[in-house]
Structure 1
Amino acid sequence: MATQKMLKFVTLDRATPEKRGAEARKEDFGEIYRQYAAEQAEAQASRCSQCGVPYCQSHCPLHNNIPDWLRLTAENRLEEAYRVSQATNTFPEICGRICPQDRLCEGNCVIEQSGHGTVTIGAVEKYITDTAFEEGWVDPIAPYKERPESVGIIGAGPGGLAAADVLRRQGVQVTVYDRYDRAGGLLTYGIPGFKLEKDIVLRRNKQFEEGGVTFKLNCSVGEDISFAEIRAAHDAVIIATGVYKTRDLQGPGSGADGIVRAIDYLTASNRKSFGDAVPEFDSGELNAKGRKVVVIGGGDTAMDCVRTAIRQGAESVKCLYRRDRANMPGSQREVANAEEEGVEFVWLTAPKGFAGDPVNGVMVQKMRLGQPDATGRQVPEVIEGADYVEEADLVIKALGFEPEDLPALWNEPELEVTRWGTVKANFRTHETPMEGVYAVGDIVRGASLVVWAIRDGREAAEAILEKLNAAGASVAAE
């Protein structure tokens, strides 16, 4: 019976949720994709081939049971679909919105490989959990029994919150420390509303608060509280700070006014959407309105910046990237959305320096792709004599992020880091060489995806529970 509902990919074409027109969506920061109607979600889920080896699942960092919840959606068993989805993922409604499905689950869909167009996994995932919230199926965090042990989590981003969810549901006392005034990390302040509306994040934050997670916000470790104090207060500690140090630009004029960091620019925009007082935005320092904007970089952060600048009313927005479109690390879907909205991509270009102070131009050198390096990617090479100046009065650096020097910031020289500055941690348990201290997400991996941070956080929480349970059993035996 179940199989009759499936395998519709032969007769039913792929259909994504309706996308708002570019002219309309440029005027606000609302999400650009509309929600599926129930019959559309069921129909698109029914295209799944229920293949014997689900590559969508194996290529998902969380190994979500995608074929199962697609089948349940196709059969209109939506609450069950939500239960299956939530079993492996703390934030399915967020992953459905911001995961690069084209590089993960959907990019490895078997029917995509056979030319039928991938199942719209991300859109269905989003639909399932949004519906679950609307229908009241989302269970509060209510542990069956409270435990005396406590865990301190440094960082209220997706990795830290995923760990908090798993631990709290088992009755562990959880305190989350974060430098910002709202929980969520980059989900709150880094990702623009047109990809992830902020009430979606705040809804989850509220769930954690109501479930007994203690948040200590506006709390900077190393300044307001020491790492040693946090360790002393808890049975285990998870470092989930993410990476916030911006890779810098070199070249003449790189310190000029008007050259800003992507994280500062995006945070200011998101704070403005919350109604916060943002002097740097109001002064124009971090506001693109009426300006000629150049964004340097080719990842998803660069896409967030160019599309934010469009919505702020920039006169023009250009993105410089040293490789070509095919080699761009950012989502191709985001590139297409940006182009529809009026962003101009200038491929095979890199900044050589900057003119003026405040900046009034980017000195650009043209590139070509040479021989592949050890990773197989072609190396950009400068084309001599092809330099030119690109007009700009706001330059946004979106070159990626690096870890801060935590041992120095926290006065903890014993905290071991790699040569890249990331915290050393066990690949499976996420425990560091420092007893009882764990590390998850970007501070271990380097700048990566939200879904990897969620996986790390859940795994670390499970490892901590295993150790706490073993210690409790040992005490009981005595």
Structure 2
Amino acid sequence: MADDMLKFVSIEQKMPDKRSSQDRVQDFSEIYDEFIPAAAKEQASRCSQCGVPYCHIHCPLGNNIPDWLRLTAEDRLEEAYELATSTNNMPEICGRICPQDRLCEGNCVIEKDFNSVTIGSVEKYIVDTAWDNGWVKPITPKQERAESVGIIGAGPAGLAAAEELRKAGFQVHIYDRHDRAGGLLVYGIPGFKLEKTVVGRRTGRLEQSGITFHLDFEVGRDATLGELREKHSALLIATGVYRARSLKAPGVGLRGIHEALDYLITSNKVGMGDTVAAYENGSLNAAGKNVVVIGGGDTAMDCVRTAVRQGAKSVKCLYRRDRDNMPGSVREVKNAEEEGVDFEWLCGPEAFIGDETVEKVRAYRMQLGAPDATGRQAPEPVPDSSFDLPADLAILALGFEPEDLPALFGAPELRVTRWGTVMADHSTLMTNLPGVFAAGDIVRGASLVVWAIRDGRDAAEQITSYLNTKSSESAEVADMEAAE
């Protein structure tokens, strides 16, 4: 190992080549090139193989990062792939979109003095190489089981659970309201971060593995939750959270003010070849417009960078805290700045100005005051600091909340918390309805894709345990009846 690893003192950190900002804003292709094999091996060899791997500890999935870095450095890529997929159902997706600067790479022990190992890029390289070499195969269960499991939601939590359940031999059916599987991986995340072919080959593999997708299917419209319970041995609710948080401000009802997800879904559909009226008529198209995005998370970064690519006249991002306190990825902010986005830090929206259509966003300066209940400094308005920004299109990227699932699903008996998330037992992930489980953002609230994958895997484990117990009980009853 000594010859292959611990090279962080002699080899500098280097990411894969990044396309120039002038080039990449012309399209929606991913901005990073692939690692060449020699570079991936070299960067993997920088790992210190530390005794307490903080990268592993701070990964929600508990990925065996030092081990597959070592295997990459030793040119044992197929083994590295097997190890990476043993804990993660879509590692090449996490390698592209995880905020590594806040998770594995941000906790790398060599980060302070030598810059972290480029974990995400190596992870992406390993699994893209596996796809290119045909190492990724459809799932072949050792034994088929008669029980069927229905999964509501084809996002990362639902897809991860489906894969694990299929490995166990269950008959898996996924129901989703959209016309493509993938959830926010397809409709919410722009192609310059995650090209849709990457998601498509994952969902295609699940179809080849015998998982049935029911698309354009709305629970409550096409079947109630109760009807699905009768059809399946167990159900998993993995819908995610889609309802945008509202903003109360004068003029918020003017035309030209839109929710972030509506804007991103439209852009992604157009990118996949769909014709969308809201894009064609210009209402959800930033071309030639002054765009103001309100928010500081990764969704806001997706919006500003999309607007640049659509040919906006100007793009500004308003965030009520400073750069150090924003929730979005540091890399995404840097990418946005390189692409021409202007950030107005410590600013909040006061009002939207216009007759029928928005023409300006009136904002005010803010300052950070005493810490709030979460420990973060609470932003406070600065008196007499208002100023106007021209805006033909204002996008609200303030986060997401759960929809009213009991009403939507025709299941008033389904218990939810006061925040609208589905109430599930922390140990079993089962809701108050026997055989109905819940996982992902619909339980924990809006969070990261990597957490959704973890939750989906945990749910699959609990569903398997539940169905195994039911099967054993049924067998005992049958034995007793036969004995009588």
Q: Please confirm whether the aligned pair reaches a TM-score higher than 0.5, indicating the same fold.
A: yes
- What letter corresponds to residue 96 of structure 2 in structure 1? R
> Which of the numbers 336, 347, 361 marks the counterpart of 1:338?
336
> Which of the numbers 195, 213, 223 marks the counterpart of 2:193?
195
Cα distance per residue 1:425-460 (max 9 Å; x no partner)? 122331112111111111011110000000000111
Offset of 1:473 from its aligned partner? 2.9
Offset of 1:471 from its aligned partner? 2.5
Q: How does 1:440-459 map to 2 (within 5 A)?
A: 440-459=439-458
**1:38 counterpart residue number:** 37
Q: Output the CA distance in 2 between the equivalents of 1:350 and 1:205.
A: 40
**1:162 counterpart residue number:** 160
Number of residue pairs aligned between Structure 1 and Structure 2: 476
- What letter corresponds to residue 270 of structure 1 in structure 2? N
Q: Output the CA distance in 2 between the equivalents of 1:334 and 1:74.
A: 28
Contact 1:430–1:456 (CA<8 Å) still a contact in 2? no
Cα distance per residue 1:208-248 (max 9 Å; x no partner)? 11111111110111112111111110111000000000011
Contact 2:137–2:205 (CA<8 Å) still a contact in 1? no
Offset of 1:474 from its aligned partner? 3.3
- What letter corresponds to residue 314 of structure 2 in structure 1? S
Q: How does 1:4-153 map to 2 (within 5 A)?
A: 4-113=3-112, 115-153=113-151
Q: How does 1:308-327 map to 2 (within 5 A)?
A: 308-327=306-325
- What letter corresponds to residue 233 of structure 2 in structure 1? D
User: Larger deviation: 423-432 or 181-190?
Assistant: 423-432
Q: How does 1:361-380 map to 2 (within 5 A)?
A: 361-380=360-379
- What letter corresponds to residue 452 of structure 1 in structure 2? W
Cα distance per residue 1:132-177 (max 9 Å; x no partner)? 0000111211212211000000000000000000001121001100
Matched, 1:285 2:283: yes
The SS at the match of 1:430 is coil
Cα distance per residue 1:251-298 (max 9 Å; x no partner)? 111001000011010001000011111111010010000000000000
Offset of 1:467 from its aligned partner? 1.9
Cα distance per residue 1:350-371 (max 9 Å; x no partner)? 1111111210011111111111
Q: Output the CA distance in 1 between the equivalents of 2:170 and 2:383.
A: 61
Cα distance per residue 1:181-206 (max 9 Å; x no partner)? 00000000000000000000011111
Q: Output the CA distance in 2 between the equivalents of 1:440 and 1:244.
A: 15
**1:173 counterpart residue number:** 171
**1:471 counterpart residue number:** 470
- What letter corresponds to residue 88 of structure 1 in structure 2? T
Q: Output the CA distance in 1 between the equivalents of 2:397 and 2:24.
A: 23
**2:482 counterpart residue number:** none
Contact 1:8–1:46 (CA<8 Å) still a contact in 2? yes
User: Larger deviation: 136-145 or 278-287?
Assistant: 136-145
**2:435 counterpart residue number:** 436
Cα distance per residue 1:4-58 (max 9 Å; x no partner)? 2110011111111110000000000000011101111111001111111111001
**2:393 counterpart residue number:** 394
Offset of 1:475 from its aligned partner? 3.3
Q: Output the CA distance in 2 between the equivalents of 1:160 and 1:121.
A: 25
Cα distance per residue 1:82-108 (max 9 Å; x no partner)? 000000000000000000000000011
- What letter corresponds to residue 268 of structure 1 in structure 2? T
Q: Output the CA distance in 1 between the equivalents of 2:115 and 2:467.
A: 47
Contact 2:185–2:199 (CA<8 Å) still a contact in 1? yes
Cα distance per residue 1:295-331 (max 9 Å; x no partner)? 0000000000000000000000000000011100000
> Which of the numbers 218, 224, 241 marks the counterpart of 1:243?
241
The SS at the match of 1:294 is strand
Q: Output the CA distance in 2 between the equivalents of 1:386 and 1:409.
A: 43
The SS at the match of 2:110 is helix
- What letter corresponds to residue 46 of structure 2 in structure 1? R
The SS at the match of 1:248 is coil
Q: Normalized against structure 2, the TM-score is what? A: 0.97
Q: Output the CA distance in 1 between the equivalents of 2:157 and 2:427.
A: 15
The SS at the match of 1:110 is coil
User: Larger deviation: 58-67 or 416-425?
Assistant: 416-425
Contact 1:152–1:236 (CA<8 Å) still a contact in 2? yes
> Which of the numbers 294, 301, 304 marks the counterpart of 1:306?
304
Contact 1:290–1:313 (CA<8 Å) still a contact in 2? yes
Matched, 1:354 2:352: yes
Gaps of 5+ in 2: 480-484
Contact 1:96–1:123 (CA<8 Å) still a contact in 2? yes
Q: Output the CA distance in 2 between the equivalents of 1:251 and 1:58.
A: 42
Q: Output the CA distance in 2 between the equivalents of 1:47 and 1:272.
A: 41
- What letter corresponds to residue 379 of structure 1 in structure 2? A
**1:411 counterpart residue number:** 410
Q: Output the CA distance in 2 between the equivalents of 1:470 and 1:83.
A: 30
Q: Output the CA distance in 2 between the equivalents of 1:53 and 1:176.
A: 39
Q: Output the CA distance in 1 between the equivalents of 2:425 and 2:31.
A: 39
- What letter corresponds to residue 147 of structure 2 in structure 1? E
The SS at the match of 1:3 is coil
Q: Identity over aligned residues, as a percent?
A: 63
Offset of 1:386 from its aligned partner? 0.9
Offset of 1:3 from its aligned partner? 3.1
- What letter corresponds to residue 412 of structure 1 in structure 2? A
Q: Output the CA distance in 1 between the equivalents of 2:410 and 2:451.
A: 28
Q: Output the CA distance in 2 between the equivalents of 1:89 and 1:255.
A: 43
Contact 1:400–1:447 (CA<8 Å) still a contact in 2? yes
Q: Output the CA distance in 1 between the equivalents of 2:286 and 2:328.
A: 22
Q: Output the CA distance in 2 between the equivalents of 1:171 and 1:410.
A: 28
> Which of the numbers 199, 215, 221 marks the counterpart of 1:217?
215
- What letter corresponds to residue 431 of structure 1 in structure 2? M
Q: Output the CA distance in 2 between the equivalents of 1:119 and 1:429.
A: 36
Q: Output the CA distance in 2 between the equivalents of 1:271 and 1:251.
A: 30
Q: Output the CA distance in 2 between the equivalents of 1:296 and 1:177.
A: 33
Contact 2:156–2:453 (CA<8 Å) still a contact in 1? yes
Gaps of 5+ in 1: none
